[in-house]
Structure formats: structure tokens, C-alpha cells
């Protein structure tokens, strides 16, 4: 077209293959740089939720104690005289102070003809143990919220028995873990978990409730609850309500994040059935786990924490001076 010679000869030029590959490579590098930051931000948000959950459990425990003249809830009430001796976990006792009054009223602790574990919601066939309580679950964990095979709702927090000695499961043995019993408090006689009166932590699974005043080390220096992973423990996978779910049986003797998450392992120490390593605290948060202290505060303890200090935090009355990590 006359007067516009440049337009007549203009050619449209696209990307060459090399240029396209360079652009793709730059985008890939940017994604590689941003993805860890995004994942870290998401984990920080999940950890914040988990911390909030532990605080709410703390409010539930303190609310219960205030209403019971400073008597703490038991960790769990489990005995061989079923169903009369299976009165559920302490988490069920604190439900009224966690805005779960309707769920709490469905549990008839005075009915000795049926285990609390097997009670159903009024007028339905739904097991109470199948009711998902969001505040009992950590969003970082990889367990299902509901185990449909057993109709059991998950829980990620367990009441502490402190540095109380554990036994070994002969059918899934981890004999080396028994060496951890050397750290138990008191050192002698052995405070085996079958004897609730000798539990060095604030909870047990025998239905015996300690008082707030029994925590002579100071509430701010004593662990009440900590995080755990249901898929890594045959006890913990039994949910928030069951009597033998590891509540009041979880020990600080086991180092934080000890691996018992390999059910197919030939090594019993890494399997969730061994009765000792499995009953420790662990989380999917990098580097440690969250813990609720007796004053209602929540601390994230590193898995590298000094083991003796960890036991002192677990014990309620060891009368040892310590510096908080």
C-alpha cells in the first residue's frame, strides 16, 4: 500500500525453540524458589492451628479442675473388668469446657453395663467414638479423620504419664527401648504403668485422678499433653474416646519423633505395636512437637532437647531445678 511501505514488508516473528526453553527454565527456577516458601507458610498456619488446639485442651483441663476442687481429669480409665472398667479417656471429661456440651451429655459415665468406648449417640446407632472433634486433630498429620473400619475418630494429642517406665510387647519386641527406663523418675522402685500411684507424670490410664497441688514442680514446668501420630501407635490409633488409647500412658522417656511408623518393618522398634517406643510424642512438624504445660501455655520442643531435661518436664514432682528450653 502506497505511503506505508514498512507495513507491507513487516513480518511476524515468534519464539525460537531455544528462547522457549529458556523461558520455561526461568519459570521452573522461580517455582522452585517459591514452592518451599509456600509450603513453609502453609505448615506455619497448620502449626498455629495445632497450637490453638492444645491451648483449648488446656482450657478444658483447667475448667474441669476448677469445677472439681482442683482435681485433674484422669488420662483414661482402663481396666480388665470390661465393660464396667472401661470408662473412656479424660478427653471425654473435658468436653463441656470445650463447647462440646451436646457431645458430653451423650456419654453416660454412670452406666456400668456398657463400656464408654461402645456407647452410641442418643437415638442412633452411631458410636460416640466416631464423632469427629476438630479441636482434637492437627491439620499437619496424615491420618484419616475417621477410621471407617473401626468407626473411630482420630485424635492427635495425648495425656502425659511423664517419665514412667514401659513394658515390652513380646509379639512385637523392642527390647533395646527398655534401656530408656533408666531415665524414669523416681529411679527406684520402677514406676511401671500398671501402678497408677507410681506414675511420675500428671496422668495415668487407671482412672486415678491427681490434683493440681500434686504438681509440685510448678505448672509452667510440667507437661500435660503433647502431640502424637495415630498411624504410628496401635494405642494412639484407637481415637479420642477409647479407654486404652494411650491417654495417660504416653511417656516422655521416648525421645520426640522416635520412628514407629513402619508396620511392615522387621525391626520391632520401628513398628507401632511395641508398647514402648510407640507410646512417645511425635508430630509431622519439622524438628519437634507441640506440648501443653500445666499453666495453659504451649511450647514447641525440639526433638534434639536434652533427654534429662525432657524427663524433668514430664515429671510432676521430681523437685529438680531446670531452665526451660
Which of these, 68, 61, 314, lies nearest to 202 by C-alpha position? 314
Read off the pTM: 0.86
Q: Are 87 and 209 in contact (CB under 8 A)?
A: no
For residues 157-179, give the mean pLDDT: 93
Other Cβ atoms closer than 10 A to 134: 10
For the chain, what is the radius of gyration of the CA atoms? 26
- 207 or 26, higher pLDDT: 207
**pLDDT tens digits for range 216-244:** 999 999 999 999 999 999 999 999 999 99
Q: Residue 38: is its pLDDT beyond 80? A: no
Q: What's the pLDDT at 189?
A: 56
Angstrom distance (rounded) from CA 228 to CA 158: 7
pLDDT in tens, 63-105: 999 999 999 999 999 988 878 889 999 999 999 999 999 999 9
d(CA 286, CA 259): 14
Share of the chain above pLDDT 70, in %: 87
| Cis preceding-peptide flag for 186 (omega within 30 of 0) | yes
Residue 14's alpha-carbon distances to 11, 22, 33, 91, 117, in angstroms, are 10, 14, 28, 66, 69
In the predicted structure, residue 43 carries a pLDDT above the cut 90: no
* CA angle, 273 then 275 then 277, to 5°: 90
88, β-bridge pairs: 77
Window from 50-64, 199-213, 230-244 with minimum mean pLDDT: 199-213
- What pLDDT is attached to residue 2? 52
H/E element, 161: strand 157-162
Which uninterrupted H or E stretch holds 207? none
| Chain mean pLDDT for the chain | 89
- pLDDT value of position 140: 94
d(CA 303, CA 229): 15
Q: Over 60: is that where the pLDDT of 12 sits? A: no
Cell of 80: 480388665
* pLDDT value of residue 188: 53
The number of CA neighbours under 13 Å toward the Cβ of 199 is: 31
Tell whether the model's pLDDT for residue 288 goes beyond 60. yes
What angle is formed at CA 294 by the lines to CA 226 and CA 304, rounded to 5 degrees?
45
Give me the pLDDT at residue 39, please.
65
Angle 250-133-203 (CA atoms, 0-180°, nearest 5)?
25
pLDDT at position 24 is 81
Tell me the C-alpha distance between 300 and 86, whole Å: 33
Please say if the pLDDT value at position 19 is more than 80: no
pLDDT band at residue 166 using 50, 70 and 90 as cut-offs: confident
How far does Cα 230 stand from its chain's mean position?
A: 8
* From 31-40, 244-253, 289-298, the region with the lowest mean pLDDT: 31-40
15 vs 226 pLDDT, higher one: 226
Amino acid at each position: 500500500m502506497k505511503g506505508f511501505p514498512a507495513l507491507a514488508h513487516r513480518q511476524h516473528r515468534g519464539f525460537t525453540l531455544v528462547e522457549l526453553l529458556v523461558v520455561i527454565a526461568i519459570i521452573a527456577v522461580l517455582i522452585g524458589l517459591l514452592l518451599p516458601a509456600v509450603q513453609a507458610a502453609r505448615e506455619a498456619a497448620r502449626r498455629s492451628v495445632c497450637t490453638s488446639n492444645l491451648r483449648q485442651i488446656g482450657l478444658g483441663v483447667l475448667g474441669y479442675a476448677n469445677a472439681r476442687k482442683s482435681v485433674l481429669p484422669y488420662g483414661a480409665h482402663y481396666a480388665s473388668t470390661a465393660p464396667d472398667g472401661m470408662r473412656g479417656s479424660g478427653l471425654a471429661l473435658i468436653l463441656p469446657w470445650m463447647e462440646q456440651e451436646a457431645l458430653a451429655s451423650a456419654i453416660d459415665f454412670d452406666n456400668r453395663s456398657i463400656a464408654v468406648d461402645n456407647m452410641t449417640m442418643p437415638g442412633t446407632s452411631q458410636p460416640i467414638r466416631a464423632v469427629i472433634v476438630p479441636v482434637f486433630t492437627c491439620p499437619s498429620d496424615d491420618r484419616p479423620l475417621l477410621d471407617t473400619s473401626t468407626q473411630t475418630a482420630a485424635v492427635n494429642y495425648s495425656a502425659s504419664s511423664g517419665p514412667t517406665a514401659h513394658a515390652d510387647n513380646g509379639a512385637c519386641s523392642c527390647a533395646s527401648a527398655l534401656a530408656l527406663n533408666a531415665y524414669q523418675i523416681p529411679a527406684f522402685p520402677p514406676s511401671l504403668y500398671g501402678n497408677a500411684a507410681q506414675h511420675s507424670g500428671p496422668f495415668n490410664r487407671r482412672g486415678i485422678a491427681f490434683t493440681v497441688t500434686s504438681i509440685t514442680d510448678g505448672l509452667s514446668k510440667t507437661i500435660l499433653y503433647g502431640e502424637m501420630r495415630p498411624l504410628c501407635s496401635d494405642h494412639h490409633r484407637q481415637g479420642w474416646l477409647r479407654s486404652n488409647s494411650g491417654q495417660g500412658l504416653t511417656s516422655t522417656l521416648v525421645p520426640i519423633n522416635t520412628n514407629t511408623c513402619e508396620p511392615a518393618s522387621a525391626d520391632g522398634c520401628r513398628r507401632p505395636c511395641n508398647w514402648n517406643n510407640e507410646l512417645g510424642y511425635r508430630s509431622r512438624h519439622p524438628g519437634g512437637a507441640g506440648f501443653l504445660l500445666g499453666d495453659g501455655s504451649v511450647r514447641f520442643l525440639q526433638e534434639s532437647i536434652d533427654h534429662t531435661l525432657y524427663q524433668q518436664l514430664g515429671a510432676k514432682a521430681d523437685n529438680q531445678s531446670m531452665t526451660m528450653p
